[in-house]
Structure 1
Amino acid sequence: MFVTRVLQICGTAEGGSWFTSQVKELVKRGYVIEAVVPGEGPVAEAMRALDVPVHVIPFRGYRPRDFRRHVNAYRAMRALVRSGRFDVVHAHLLKSYFLARLITHRSKRMPGLVSQVPGNAHLEMPALRAVERLTVPLDGITAVSCSAFVNDFQDLGARVVEVVRYGLDTDAVDFNPDEQSCRAALGLAPGEIAIGMVAHMYPTRAKSFREVGVKGHETFIDAAAIAHRARGNLRFFVVGDEFVGTGSYKDALMRRAKNHEVKIEFLGHLSSMADFLPAMDILSNPSTSESASYTVIEAGLARRPVAATKVGGLTDSVIDGSTGLLVPVKDAHALAGAFIALADDPEMRERMGVQARRHVIKLFDISATTTDLERVYERLL
């Protein structure tokens, strides 16, 4: 049976390029899509630009004082799901699929549910892990963003788990062809090796991430200090800001770099990688929990090798020894060794960059990932 009517529920009103790319490709293939978003913002604007009807239902937040709003949001979403207009409900991000599971539970009038799980960091929190264990059996299909998450959700009791990666239009990703001007803009001298990290900074109270945060900034800083002592021609850059919080986490990271006496340039948020990635020789992703990482995919498209941790979806997006180097999580000495090995071997960097581009296009182009999603829809029905 060919699915034509899908209600897409997105858990964020900001960013969401992964969501927009997927919906755009589904519309292109003839699906009739309506979207639920938790507020006005870039995601809603992108949906309207695609002529996709948008339902703004403010379901975000967990504060007790918002209880009445949450109840009203639940009722509005339930009425929409029960309207009879949809074959499939496809929910993205944590609260979206928790709500969708409750709404579609034990009702023959409901469409099938695909819960798309982008990451597994929340499983480190006992309360959220318990909620997953209780509710994941309610999915028609649990779609995980990388092969490393399959066992996690099977162990939690998911009935059917499929890998559906978030893709992007690789043809539309463009970089400044003038690498020298990009390097000059960052003050890079000939012979200096630029190593960059691109990630939001996520302060969290979760016990598992207190010493090293979700994205591993602490590991990057410590590795930079070790590598810098061994090779004086290395330059280090961090792109990204504190995603939520007061800014104290970013301040702590900058103090850590200062205490190590290593110069790391914190560039803040950049709206585009078009000028940054061409200036880099190496990209690093030292995450402690990660799916595929759009930045790693973009680095591959820019023909840049990656030094990353052997965790989650990074084992999909980086082929160790072929498109980059993978090291153990939270191991600053191993990461520094990867920096030095890549910095010392320009031929290896070039070879890995070529192979990286070929690999990410094959695995993450939106055409391939949407075809995988179509198979999930067909299996669901």
Structure 2
Amino acid sequence: MQRALIAHIIPWTNIAGTELATIRLAEAARAEGYDNILYVPDLPGAAALEALCHSHGLATTRYQQPEVRRSRPLPYLANTVRLAADFRRRGVKLVHNGEVMGAYFTALAGRLAGARVVSHVRADHPRLTDLERLLLKPVEQYLYVSASTAAQQDFPVAPGRGAVLYDAVPPPPPVLDRAVARAHYGLPEAAVVFGMPARISAQKDHATLIRAMALVQRARSDVHLLLVGDTGGDEGHRAQFAKLSALVADTGTGAFVHFAGFEGDMPRFYAAIDALVLSTHTEGFPLVLLEAMSAALPVIATRIGGIPEAVADGDTGILVPHEDAPALAQAMLRLADDAALRDAMGGAGRKMAQERFGQARFERDVAAFYGRMLRPR
């Protein structure tokens, strides 16, 4: 029997959560007997993203994202016809968009090619334009990364056309020498280190975390904060980094807050920290929390979006209110003061990551969903 071909649409060329999650999805589909090809937008950064896909043994091709305007629809329609022809030529049976941004450019083409069309939804979309909602009309099924995400959308979804699919936790990182990892970042070996891995952008609430560190320092001078994430990749990152650097200077935390820039070796980051913090404004379902739990690290996170679906408050970590620096500082001090609690939460987190969000469960859910979508109609 011929294996069905699934086209996975990547909406952006930066290498972050959506792109990595799409690769994991394609790997899960491959494990369940499907052929896969990843469509990468023809934008700056495409080559690096393609190289990453190829390193996972996944085929790629590029697609266009022309400007979509009601007053000038021909470029979009011409691109849709070309893409539909490409889907038909390759024998694509299902078009799976990594986010609704990809669906804007490929959903109609998929339907014209006779393929089933699915879109993941990994973030809140509370205010779409009429044109954006129109572009989503061809999508047949939506997969939400959390129940919270499903509730925060501005496009109608009929009953039976949406479901929650929790992503898979990555395998536990290799255990590395803590002293070596800390020396790499210039961290004191005996310090209590909290770490936050996130791009330096306005979506992430680094400012509240820095203010919390100023409060922590009044109680304990041996607590350090390690921040990994791109600080200069584009103008937005550079501007946000400048604001945060000024805040570090204003709060007097410069000796204790460490910006390490982009980190390609995440096992080294996890080896260097005692607990992970995610201070943020919006989140769909942040896999970084599951990664930390898989590494047996306790987590502290903002109680927003899908985060409470990933963290058992008081068991695998601590949830704090949004933009509440005193509450965040209190949670950090609680873990800094109690190594036994850190170990207990880390152990509970690893168990939860493996049992509720493990790879075997993910592959079963993916296979069941694709089986339903590709069943003869």
Q: What amino acid is the match of 1:110? A: G
Distance 1:84 1:251, change over 3 A: closer
CA apart distance, 1:339: 0.6
| Contact kept? 2:103, 2:135, Cα under 8 Å | no
Q: What SS does structure 1 have at the residue aligned with 2:92?
A: coil
The answer to whether 1:224 aligns with 2:213 is yes
Does residue 164 of structure 1 match 2:165? yes
Identify which of 264, 267, 272 aligns with 1:274.
267
Shift of residue 321, structure 1, vs aligned partner: 0.7
Name stretches of at least 5 consecutive residues in structure 1 with no aligned partner: 203-212
Q: By how many angstroms is 1:240 displaced?
A: 0.7
Corresponding position of 1:233: 222
Offset at 1:10? 1.3
User: What letter matches 1:231 in structure 2?
Assistant: R
Contact 1:198 1:238 in 2 (8 A): yes
Aligned length: 361
Q: In the aligned structure 2, how far is the partner of 1:119 from the partner of 1:315? A: 15
**Which whole-Å CA distance do the structure 2 matches of 1:60 and 1:42 have between them?**
21
Aligned counterpart, 2:121: 117
CA distance in 2: counterparts of 1:11 and 1:267, whole angstroms: 27
Aligned counterparts of 1:235 and 1:63: Cα–Cα separation in 2: 49
Alpha-carbon contact 1:38-1:60 (below 8 Å) kept: no
Confirm whether residue 151 of structure 1 aligns to residue 155 of structure 2: no
After the TM superposition, which of the residue ranges 320-329 and 307-316 deviates more from structure 2? Answer: 307-316
Percent of matched pairs sharing the same residue: 24
Q: Distance in 2 between matches of 1:74 and 1:268?
A: 39
Residues 255 and 364 (structure 1), Cα distance of their counterparts in 2 relative to 1, 3 Å cut: same
Tell me what 1:25 maps to.
28
Q: Paired residue for 1:80? A: 86
* Contact 2:39–2:60 (Cα < 8 Å) also in 1: yes
SS in 2 for 1:362: helix
Q: Are the equivalent residues in 1 in contact too, given 2:178–2:271 (CA < 8 A)?
A: yes
Q: 1:328-366 CA distances to partner (integer Å, 9 max, x unpaired)?
A: 111112111111111111111000001111112233333
**1:218 corresponds to which letter in structure 2?**
A
CA distance 1:33–1:188, shift in 2 (3 Å): closer
Q: Say yes or no: does 1:194 pair with 2:200.
A: no
Q: Which moved more, 1:41-50 or 1:338-347?
A: 41-50
Pick from 371, 375, 380 the counterpart of residue 368 of structure 2.
375
CA contact (8 A) 2:144 2:164 kept: yes
In 1, distance between residues paired with 2:75 and 2:264? 33
| Pairing 1:246-325 to 2, within 5 Å after superposition | 247-263=238-254, 264-325=257-318
Calculate the TM-score normalised by the size of structure 1: 0.84
In angstroms, what is the RMSD of aligned CA positions? 2.9
What displacement does 1:69 show? 6.7
Q: Deviations over 1:13-65 (max 9, x none)?
A: 3422222222122123210222211134233234445664432113277799x
C-alpha distance in 1, partners of 2:192/2:301?
A: 17
Distance 1:335 1:289, change over 3 A: same
| 1:242-281 deviation per Cα after TM superposition (whole angstroms, max 9, x unaligned) | 4532512111111011111112111111111122211211
Query: How many Å separate the matches in 2 of 1:244 and 1:62?
Result: 24
Superposition TM-score, scaled by structure 2 size: 0.85
Residues 50 and 342 (structure 1), Cα distance of their counterparts in 2 relative to 1, 3 Å cut: closer
SS in 1 for 2:235: coil
Could you tell me whether the CA contact under 8 Å between 1:143 and 1:161 is conserved in 2? yes
Secondary structure of the residue aligned to 1:215 is coil
Deviation digits for residues 290-313 of structure 1, max 9, x if unmatched? 123232222112211111011122
Could you say which residue in structure 1 is the equivalent of 2:140?
Answer: 140
Alpha-carbon distance change, 332 to 69 in structure 1, aligned in 2, over 3 angstroms? farther
C-alpha spacing 1:260/1:130, structure 2 compared with 1 (3 Å): farther
